[in-house]
């Protein structure tokens, strides 16, 4: 059985990469991780194309949880999900959670074999606190 994948989408390439490194150090290779950040010119931003590539990198039949830093990243992530093939679209969720803590908690849950819904719920509980 595969574990839920985690995608980190930040406006900063360094934040995305650093968060992915933290996740890998916490859970190793048990959880597929994809990340993206920044615009093609090296500035701040996000792109639907890079989010789609990150989803492919982290793809798991158990699903993929996307964590984002700011509103534009959330909007672009939702657009990316809409562009996925139908059979994948229902297995990808955008979590309303803090990006770093949410990604680490989500990955820890995923490593334990939690379902996509359980991973999302656990990450989103951080926002409610």
Read off the CATH number of the domain in which 12 is found. Answer: 3.40.50.510
User: Do the Cβ atoms of 23 and 31 come closer than 8 Å?
Assistant: yes
What residues have CB less than 8 Å from 44, skipping those under 6 apart? 11, 12, 38
For residue 116, give both structure tokens.
């996509």
Active site residues: 11
3-class DSSP string for the chain: CCCCEEEEEECCHHHHHHHHHHHHHHHCCCCCEEEEECCCCCCCCCCHHHHHHHHHHHCCCCCEEEEECCHHHHHHHHHHHHHCCHHHHCCEEEECCCHHHHHHHHHHHHHCCCCHHHHHHHHHHHHHC
Q: Against a cut of 0.75, is the pTM above it? A: yes
The 10 Å Cβ neighbour count of residue 2 is 14
Q: Which residues partner with 35 through β-bridges?
A: 8
**Per-residue model confidence as pLDDT tens for the chain (129 residues):** 799 999 999 999 999 999 999 999 999 999 999 999 998 888 999 999 999 999 999 999 999 999 999 889 999 999 999 999 999 999 999 999 999 999 999 999 999 999 999 999 999 998 776
Q: How far apart are CA 65 and CA 40, in angstroms?
A: 24
Q: Which domain does 117 fall in, by range?
A: 5-128
Domain count along the chain = 1
pLDDT of 129: 64
């Amino acid at each position: 059985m595969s574990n839920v994948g985690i995608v980190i989408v930040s406006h900063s390439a360094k934040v995305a990469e650093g968060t992915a490194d933290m996740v890998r150090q916490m859970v190793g290779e048990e959880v597929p991780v994809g990340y993206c950040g920044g615009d093609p010119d090296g500035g701040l931003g996000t792109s639907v194309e890079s989010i789609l590539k990150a989803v492919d990198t982290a793809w798991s039949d158990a699903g993929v949880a996307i964590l984002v830093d700011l509103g534009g990243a959330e909007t672009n992530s939702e657009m990316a999900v809409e562009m996925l093939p139908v059979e994948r679209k229902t297995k990808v969720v955008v979590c309303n959670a803090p990006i770093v803590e949410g990604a680490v908690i989500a990955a820890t849950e995923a490593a334990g074999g939690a379902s996509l819904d359980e991973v999302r719920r656990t990450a989103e509980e951080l926002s409610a606190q």
